[in-house]
């Protein structure tokens, strides 16, 4: 078993889960789009038929909606794995505002060194 990479936890986790470049790009597109929704930046957003229609709603993203969109796009069936991926993104300073919005308790614990 390979030791986790403390400096790059997100990339390490993706590799250990067998998630490669194409799916990584899709995940980051989803997170970027959801970040735009969080900031209510609808003018710059365009629909892409490759992704579920829920992604393109205009309201603030919810945790359940985010998990559903990622699950259906990347075919990841376990919510815990998606949560682990998103929190590893946060640890790697990616989409911190969105992930803090989606996981306020977990992010606080990570920031306090409890997770």
> Does the pLDDT at position 5 exceed 50?
yes
Residue 12 lies inside a defined structural domain of this protein: no
Residue 100 lies inside a defined structural domain of this protein: yes
How many distinct structural domains can be found in the chain? Answer: 1
> Does the pLDDT at position 115 exceed 70?
no
Decide if 55 contacts 69 (C-beta within 8 A): yes
Show the domain range for 44: 21-109
Residue 9 lies inside a defined structural domain of this protein: no
Distance of alpha carbon 108 from alpha carbon 103, whole angstroms:
8
Residue 3 lies inside a defined structural domain of this protein: no
Residue 25 lies inside a defined structural domain of this protein: yes
Residue 1 lies inside a defined structural domain of this protein: no
Decide if 33 contacts 45 (C-beta within 8 A): yes
Distance of alpha carbon 90 from alpha carbon 96, whole angstroms:
5
Residue 16 lies inside a defined structural domain of this protein: no
> Does the pLDDT at position 1 exceed 50?
no
Q: What is the pLDDT of residue 45?
A: 65
pLDDT digits (tens, 9 = 90+) for 20-75: 999 999 999 999 999 999 998 866 667 888 999 999 998 999 999 999 999 999 99
Residue 103 lies inside a defined structural domain of this protein: yes
């Amino acid at each position: 078993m390979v030791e986790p990479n403390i400096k790059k936890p997100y990339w390490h986790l993706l590799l250990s889960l067998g998630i490669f470049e194409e799916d990584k790009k899709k995940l980051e597109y989803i997170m970027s789009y959801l970040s735009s929704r969080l900031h209510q930046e609808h003018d710059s957003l365009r629909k892409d038929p490759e992704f579920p229609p829920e992604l393109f709603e205009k309201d603030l993203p919810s945790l359940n909606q985010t998990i559903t969109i990622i699950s259906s796009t990347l075919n990841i069936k376990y919510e815990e794995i998606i949560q682990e991926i998103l929190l590893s993104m946060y640890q790697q300073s990616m989409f911190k505002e969105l992930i803090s919005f989606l996981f306020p308790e977990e992010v606080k614990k990570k920031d306090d060194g409890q997770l």
